[in-house]
Amino acid sequence: MSFTVPANLEAEIDELITHYPVKRSASLMLLHALQEHFGHISPEATQWVAKKLGLQPINVHELVTFYPMFRQTAPGKHQIKVCRTLSCALGGSHKLHEHFCTKLGLDPHAHGLQTTKDGKFSVEFVECLAGCGMAPVMMCNEDFHEGVSNAKADEIIGGCR
């Protein structure tokens, strides 16, 4: 499979590596850089990082699967992140998550990130988004929403269409 990293990105990555006393420590930064560019971390990207840092692919794969923020497949165009940490959990975030899932035809009980078939929406739980006073709190891509009722949720989905 052909996986090519553009020259300017590779230059950026090579520079990133110099920030760390041990090459391996740059793993996360490299993954972020690649995800920012490609939208997700493919197995080829993982192998590329491993090779770059002189590691085995499994060493990098462990990180990619550990952090939910790394996507192993392309996520939806609109990424809905519902906070489930304490305040939001008490404030009804599970209901909100369920609402999104039912609305978008996803399984509210499945673990991890789910994407609609048309690739438009992804829904997932995340941990505290630092808006605890206004639970339940969520993000849609880079936009932050507080005190999200079901009606507001529908509005957010509507705004994305």
Partner 1 sequence: MSAAPTTEVKPAPPAIEKIKVKVDGREVEVPKLTPDWQGKFAPTTMLQACDIAKKDVPHYCYHPKLPVAGNCRMCLVEFGTPALGPDRKPVMNPDGTPKIAKSPRPAIGCATPISPGMEIYTSTPGVKQMREGVLESLLINHPLDCPICDQAGECKLQEYSVDYGQSASRFVEAKVHKPKAVDLGPRIMLDAERCILCTRCIRFTKDVAGDDALGIVNRGSYNTIATFPGLPFDNNYTLNTVDICPVGALTSKDFRFQMRVWFLKETKSVCTSCATGCNVLISSREEKIYRYTPRDNDAVNGPWMCDAGRLNFKWIHRADRLKDVLVRGQKSSWTAALSEIADKLKQAPAGSVAIVASARQTNEELWLISKLKTKLGALSDSVERTGDADKLLVSADKNPNTNGARLTGICFSEMGINLPKIAAGIAKGAIKTLIVFGEDVTKHGISTELLGKLDTLIVSDILPNATTSAAHYVLPGCAHAEKRGSFTNTKGRVQKFLQAVQPQGEARAEWDFLHDLVYNVTGKNGFLTIEGLFNEMAKDVPAFNGLTWAGLGDTGVTVKI
* CB-count burial class (<10 Å; 0-12, 13-18, 19+) for 120: middle
Q: Which of 22, 58, 130, 151 binds partner 1 (CB under 8 A)?
A: 58
Q: Which of 26, 31, 45, 46 binds partner 1 (CB under 8 A)?
A: 46
DSSP assignment letter at 62: H
Does 86 contact ligand FES by CB under 6 A?
yes
Of 18, 15, 47, the C-alpha closest to 31 is 47
- If you search the block for the tokens 């993000």, which residue do you land on? 139
- Show contacts of 150-159: CB within 8 Å, 24+ apart: 150/95, 150/96, 150/99, 153/96, 153/99, 153/100, 153/103, 154/103, 156/80, 157/100, 157/103, 157/104, 157/121
Q: Which of 4, 22, 111, 161 binds partner 1 (CB under 8 A)?
A: 111
Residues 97-136 that bind ligand FES (CB under 6 A): 128-132, 135
Q: How far is the CB of 24 from ligand FES (least distance, A)?
A: 25
Stretch that binds partner 1, among 12-20, 39-47, 73-81, 146-154 (CB under 8 A): 39-47
Q: How far is the CB of 50 from ligand FES (least distance, A)?
A: 29
107 binds, among partner 1, ligand FES, none (CB under 5 to 8 A by kind): none
Stretch that binds partner 1, among 4-12, 19-27, 56-64, 121-129 (CB under 8 A): 56-64
Q: How far is the CB of 125 from ligand FES (least distance, A)?
A: 10
Amino acid at site 16: L
